[in-house]
């Protein structure tokens, strides 16, 4: 490796470490940043050290991490009892949360995505349960409605908790893929 490429290598490794942290921490880019760092490094070094096979492998890791994020959170919501309303609410809430986090609140789009998804699942489930409730009147109906409200809140909270569990599973998968990606890149530099 030439000495002229040494600053580029250090910049690439720092970007990869940020990506590694971002694979488990919300608000930072993750495995995708690791892939993009390797791609830029390869391009700027004319693919001398890190070639197409390594880049293809890192791309696959980044794609799997990206898909795992959506699949794990969706599966978590479903596993903990989310209905179609909760799933749709989570998707809409995630989009709104990501945009709000990025544009308005300054908290970052990933934080907004997580909180928006959880809030969307909760709201979707709560509205779904309320919609299914028969309308009755009188004193007995108020007691029944109060019990139903507590049950609705519990079920909606459980489904939203499933999103959080899914997010944690996704963070583990992304963390493992991030570590493997960095190891593959470093091994390509050594060998």
pLDDT digits 0-9 by tens, 167-183: 888 889 999 999 999 99
φ/ψ (deg, to 5) at 174? -65, -35
Banded model confidence at residue 2, pLDDT cuts 50, 70, 90: very low
The pLDDT value recorded for residue 1 is 45
Higher pLDDT: 45 or 109? It is: 45
Banded model confidence at residue 3, pLDDT cuts 50, 70, 90: very low
Name the residue among 183, 150, 174, 185 with its Cα closest to residue 61. 174
Residue 101 has pLDDT above 60, yes or no: yes
* Burial state string for 69-96 with b = 16 or more CB within 10 A and e = fewer than 16: beebbbbbbbebebbebbbebbbbbbeb
Overall number of domains in the chain: 1
Higher pLDDT: 55 or 157? It is: 55
Banded model confidence at residue 102, pLDDT cuts 50, 70, 90: confident
Residue 166 has pLDDT above 60, yes or no: yes
Reported as a single tens digit per residue, the pLDDT across 70-92 is 778 777 877 877 787 887 888 78
What percent of the chain is modeled with pLDDT above 90?
31
Asked if 93 and 116 touch (Cβ cutoff 8 Å), the reply is yes
Asked if 23 and 178 touch (Cβ cutoff 8 Å), the reply is yes
Which structural domain range is residue 77 located in? 3-190
Of 11-15, 21-25, 138-142, give the range with the top mean pLDDT: 11-15
Name the residue among 121, 111, 113, 115 with its Cα closest to residue 160. 121
The pLDDT value recorded for residue 156 is 75
The pLDDT value recorded for residue 93 is 85
pTM of this structure: 0.69
The pLDDT value recorded for residue 74 is 73
- When pLDDT is averaged across residues 34-59 and rounded to a whole number, the result is 94
The pLDDT value recorded for residue 73 is 73
């Amino acid at each position: 490796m030439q000495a002229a490429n040494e600053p580029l290598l250090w910049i690439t490794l720092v970007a990869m470490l940020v990506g590694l942290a971002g694979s488990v921490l919300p608000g930072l880019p993750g495995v995708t940043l690791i892939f993009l760092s390797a791609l830029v490094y390869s391009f700027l070094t004319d693919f001398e050290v890190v070639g197409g096979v390594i880049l293809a492998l890192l791309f696959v890791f980044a794609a799997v991490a990206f898909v795992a994020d959506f699949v794990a959170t969706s599966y978590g919501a479903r596993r903990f009892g989310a209905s179609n309303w909760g799933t749709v609410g989570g998707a809409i809430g995630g989009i709104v949360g990501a945009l709000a986090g990025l544009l308005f609140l300054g908290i970052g789009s990933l934080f907004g995505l997580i909180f928006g998804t959880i809030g969307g699942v909760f709201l979707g489930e709560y509205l779904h349960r309320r919609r299914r409730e028969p309308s009755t009147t009188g004193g007995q109906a108020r007691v029944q409605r109060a019990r139903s409200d507590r049950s609705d809140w519990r079920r909606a909270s459980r489904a939203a908790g499933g999103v959080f569990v899914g997010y944690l599973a996704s963070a583990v998968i992304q963390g493992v893929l991030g570590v493997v990606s960095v190891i593959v890149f470093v091994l390509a530099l050594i060998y």
